[in-house]
Amino acid sequence: MPRKVRELIKELKKAGFVDRGGKGSHKNFVHSKVVKPITISGKPGDDVLGYQEKIAKLAIKESQK
């Protein structure tokens, strides 16, 4: 079963990302060590899409350097 958007957001916040807002169901997360902001779309109860999972994983890894 795929993870939910709320779980991915929780993981990003735990890694030090800050929600800078967005339009509609989009949320943008920034981190001082990550070059590009991460955009997550969908309502909190929606399933995470494969590309969102991949981008978040890479961003969290980059933030830990």
Give pLDDT tens digits for 17-57. 999 999 999 999 999 999 999 999 999 999 999 999 999 99
Residue 2 confidence (pLDDT): 84
Instruction: Pick the closest to residue 8 from 61, 59, 55, 48 (CA basis).
Output: 48
26-30 and 38-41 strand pairing = antiparallel
Categorize the per-residue pLDDT at 15 as very low, low, confident or very high, splitting at 50, 70 and 90.
very high
Q: What CATH number should be reported for the domain whose range is 5-63?
A: 3.30.920.30
* pLDDT at site 29: 97
pLDDT grade, residue 1 (50/70/90)?
A: confident
pTM for this model (two decimals): 0.91
